[in-house]
Structure 1
Amino acid sequence: MYNRRFKSILLSGLSASAAILMGSAGHAQTTSATGTAAGTIVNNTASVSYSVGGTPQTAQSNTATFVVDKKVNLTVAELGGTDTQTALGATDQVTTFTVTNLTNAIQDFRLTADQQSVSIPILGVDNFDVTNVRIFVDSNGNGVYDAGVDTRSYIDELAPDATATVFIVADVPNAPGENVAIVSLNAIAAAGGTSGSLGSDLVATSTLTPDSPTTVDIVFADGGGIGDLPRNGQARAFDAYQISTAAVTMTKSAVVISDPYDLAVNPKAIPGATIRYCMIVSNAGPGAATAVNVTDSLPANVTFVSGSLNVGGTGAGGVCGAGGTQEDDDAVGPDESDPNGGSFDGTTVRAMLPLLAAPVLGIPVPLAVTFLATIN
């Protein structure tokens, strides 16, 4: 919708008066990046001079008047430029946004938080939802969420060209293997003018309605974006919670592999039999685990078999397989960095794995630690 424009008409021998911009209270208005304030009354008059029988004469026109309409515009932006790093089971995790009022009037903004079921390449592949989602507006302007201080869930009386900081606060479920939750903040322009309460959502004046020079029409001028239609009085921005922790678990088995009488044919757990201990270490992700240390204190009724410690073999399918590195009993020497490490100090078996990788296509890649012991 376009405001009417009135121009002074210059006739032969005429002089035009300057246009005077006056507010509704009769005061001169200033302009900003958002333009002339909505509701500003613009008055314009013209004069004509002429002669009759050599005598100068003048005449004044009526005053042409119109009211500046409301041009509604806003932007919402994610603050920080990177995903919000978090951990499994973390509570009150914060993503931060800004809302800027580009409307030529003071505005309220209703705020909603949405979770996405689609992936956004710049943020990652969405595969879980956060819980207990809340919205709070920065009340003291420090740009940091202060629990119990920042309590308002809408933007109240935001001046033209001014910016408010908004926080989405949520909890992260304890669900290993999931790592990205994409959220968005949607701001909807609402009526301002009453401090301390949220105004109703603005409704654009129909494009089929002619401009009225005495009323303030509403024109939506906002652009569109992902999940946001143009000229709807709303704007949206996205952020993501990214879990960078690992969820490491370990299972242990003890299998009799031989005894002094049946040897390896269906051996039994009798004194003198050899037991194969196996610890399978698995990482459900979503991130990799580093500096993994396995510790196993042997019971008093078994004896460690010297030189039997193997670290880093495959543990896929819950079966201790081949591979890994053979370790001696001490905690020094080249075998401690090949790349794994291991030792036995007379009572405790220790194994060191420098890296337990993140799952591949959602499937963990376990590693094994094995050693032998005889039953006393």
Structure 2
Amino acid sequence: MTVRTSLARLGATALLALGALAGTAQAASTLTPAGTPIDNAAKLDYSVGGIGQDQICSSPSGNSTKTCTFTSFKVDNKINLNVTTTDTTPGVSAIPGSTSTLTFVLTNEGNETQDFALSTTSNLSGPVGYMFNGTSATTVADAFDPTNCKIYDNAAPTTEITSIAGLTAGTSVTLKVACSIPPGQVNDEIGAVTLVATAREVGKPLVALIESTTNSPTVVDIVFADGSGTSEDGPRDAKHSARSAFKVSTAAIRVTKTAETICDPVGGDKSGTPPYAPKSIPGSYIQYTVLIERVDTNTSRSATLTNLKDTLATANVTFDSDFITGANVAGSPACAAVGAAVNPGAATSTGKSFKVIWSGAARASFGGMTGTQYLTASGNYTAPDINVNWNSVLPVEPGYAAGELKPGDKLQLIYNVFIK
């Protein structure tokens, strides 16, 4: 705005004194609020021929009297906002199949109370940059999309929101974004989520603000002054965004099941010269081995085995409840005495149905770093289902929770069937 002062007479000598501002001054830490009237007038002292004259006070249209008419305008609405994340690099640790949470902070850096619409995006791909703690982190590949993301005010963490109402200028609000981590992700994979905030008029969170194209002194014009946060927003669009990420931290367990034909009723077992290769025909003795192993190196995550279930095809096979001798299966004399031969040292375990072999860190229940247990069918097999409870097989002991498998640990569960 330009203040114009009209002089009463040409050739006069004058001393110009500016009137004090009538509005609120901008403090060092605060912006002058939008809508604040700024009123002022210029007062002129002068003399003619050495004789003092009445002071002249200015007006917007020009004045020659001492009556002041303020030159006035209203402070316009500077729309400025900032979204950051307080999460730290390399991202929030998350387990596949869980719901995990990111943290963002929205600050109203404008000069007016505003509503803010909130939204998230997670369908990113390829190299993506992050702004952990406001500092650029190394660009990494976005490997998966977190799903079902919901936004919460940190002050009310159980109520989902889509906007923030009446955020006062200069204040901030902490926001939580909770997302589902899809199952099947592997260690160190990154899933990025962007929180986007868009300034709105108070009480109208669904109505977009329109930036003023003209400047009217009597109207609070709207000026977009925001910068760009991520690729989800641009400069001067009344939006700002920040990106955080989940980093998968899990345990990788591999399960391998193999079947070996131990003997058949025609040629017997593998003993003899030359060795015989038993075939899988009716009456043959089949040994299943289920290998369970922890194949990652992530010591920060505990993996706990609960139950193993195997439903046998009992229309075609018979479970061998005493695999040490196999004597319970009629009609297979060639295989009846094979059990002791294929399970050396197990003669004292006659009547047992399962063999469990441990390999890994020392466990007292297995007598050390390696060891063997035998389990009966009772409690572990009810036709047609094998159900082994690992909390019982791997009890609580020093350094281990019940059923726990640590990196490098291995278990083998061995049991047999006869083909009908």
TM-score (norm 2): 0.62
Q: What residue is the counterpart of 1:172 in the other structure?
A: 181
Q: What residue is the counterpart of 2:373 in the other structure?
A: 344
Q: What residue is the counterpart of 2:349 in the other structure?
A: none
Q: Secondary structure at the match of 1:99?
A: strand
Which string of whole-angstrom CA distances, capped at 9 and with x for unpartnered residues, describes residues 299-333 of structure 1?
A: 54212623799979xxxxxxxxxxx99x9xx9446
Closer, same or farther in 2 for the Cα pair 1:356/1:202, shift >3 Å?
Answer: farther
- In the TM superposition, what is the alpha-carbon distance from 1:50 to its structure 2 partner? 2.0
- In the TM superposition, what is the alpha-carbon distance from 1:215 to its structure 2 partner? 2.1
| 2:230 is the alignment partner of 1:226 | yes
Q: What residue is the counterpart of 1:35 in the other structure?
A: 31
- In the TM superposition, what is the alpha-carbon distance from 1:36 to its structure 2 partner? 1.4
2-structure distance, mates of 1:200, 1:59: 48
Closer, same or farther in 2 for the Cα pair 1:354/1:134, shift >3 Å?
Answer: closer
| Contact 2:83–2:229 under 8 Å retained in 1 | no
Which string of whole-angstrom CA distances, capped at 9 and with x for unpartnered residues, describes residues 43-88 of structure 1?
A: 2211222223443112221232222222211110112325233323
Residue 306 of structure 1 aligns with an amino acid whose one-letter code is P
Q: Secondary structure at the match of 1:132?
A: strand
Closer, same or farther in 2 for the Cα pair 1:276/1:60, shift >3 Å?
Answer: same
Residue 156 of structure 1 aligns with an amino acid whose one-letter code is A
| 2:243 is the alignment partner of 1:238 | yes
Q: Which of 146, 165, 168 is matched with 2:157 structurally?
A: 146
- In the TM superposition, what is the alpha-carbon distance from 1:285 to its structure 2 partner? 7.9
| 2:37 is the alignment partner of 1:65 | no
2-structure distance, mates of 1:249, 1:237: 37
- In the TM superposition, what is the alpha-carbon distance from 1:155 to its structure 2 partner? 1.1
Task: Number of aligned residue pairs: give it.
Answer: 323
- In the TM superposition, what is the alpha-carbon distance from 1:105 to its structure 2 partner? 0.9
Residue 260 of structure 2 aligns with an amino acid whose one-letter code is V
Q: What residue is the counterpart of 1:248 in the other structure?
A: 253
- In the TM superposition, what is the alpha-carbon distance from 1:244 to its structure 2 partner? 1.8
Q: What residue is the counterpart of 2:48 in the other structure?
A: 52
Closer, same or farther in 2 for the Cα pair 1:233/1:284, shift >3 Å?
Answer: farther
2-structure distance, mates of 1:344, 1:104: 73
| 2:27 is the alignment partner of 1:17 | no
1-structure distance, mates of 2:296, 2:194: 25
1-structure distance, mates of 2:407, 2:295: 13
| Contact 2:4–2:58 under 8 Å retained in 1 | no
| Contact 2:250–2:298 under 8 Å retained in 1 | yes
Q: What residue is the counterpart of 2:381 in the other structure?
A: none
Q: What residue is the counterpart of 1:136 in the other structure?
A: 152
- In the TM superposition, what is the alpha-carbon distance from 1:369 to its structure 2 partner? 4.3
2-structure distance, mates of 1:5, 1:246: 70
Gaps of 5+ in 2: 60-69, 130-136, 309-318, 325-339, 347-354, 378-387, 395-403
| Contact 1:277–1:371 under 8 Å retained in 2 | yes
What aligned pairs does 1:114-133 form with structure 2 within 5 A after superposition?
A: 114-118=121-125, 119-120=127-128, 122=137, 124-133=140-149
2-structure distance, mates of 1:217, 1:374: 83
Residue 257 of structure 2 aligns with an amino acid whose one-letter code is K
Q: What residue is the counterpart of 1:301 in the other structure?
A: 322
Closer, same or farther in 2 for the Cα pair 1:77/1:374, shift >3 Å?
Answer: closer
| Contact 1:190–1:202 under 8 Å retained in 2 | yes
| Contact 1:190–1:200 under 8 Å retained in 2 | yes
2-structure distance, mates of 1:66, 1:21: 11
RMSD of aligned alpha carbons: 4.4
Residue 73 of structure 1 aligns with an amino acid whose one-letter code is N
Q: What residue is the counterpart of 2:119 in the other structure?
A: 112
| Contact 1:98–1:164 under 8 Å retained in 2 | yes
What aligned pairs does 1:245-284 form with structure 2 within 5 A after superposition?
A: 245-246=250-251, 248-257=253-262, 261=268, 263=270, 264-267=275-278, 277-281=288-292
Q: Secondary structure at the match of 2:105?
A: strand
Q: What residue is the counterpart of 2:103 in the other structure?
A: 96
What aligned pairs does 1:207-218 form with structure 2 within 5 A after superposition?
A: 209=214, 211-218=215-222
| 2:219 is the alignment partner of 1:190 | no
Residue 232 of structure 1 aligns with an amino acid whose one-letter code is D
- In the TM superposition, what is the alpha-carbon distance from 1:116 to its structure 2 partner? 3.5
Q: What residue is the counterpart of 2:407 in the other structure?
A: 355
What aligned pairs does 1:148-163 form with structure 2 within 5 A after superposition?
A: 150-163=159-172
Q: Secondary structure at the match of 1:105?
A: coil
- In the TM superposition, what is the alpha-carbon distance from 1:180 to its structure 2 partner? 3.0
Residue 153 of structure 1 aligns with an amino acid whose one-letter code is T
Q: Percent identity?
A: 29
Residue 214 of structure 1 aligns with an amino acid whose one-letter code is T
| Contact 2:186–2:248 under 8 Å retained in 1 | no
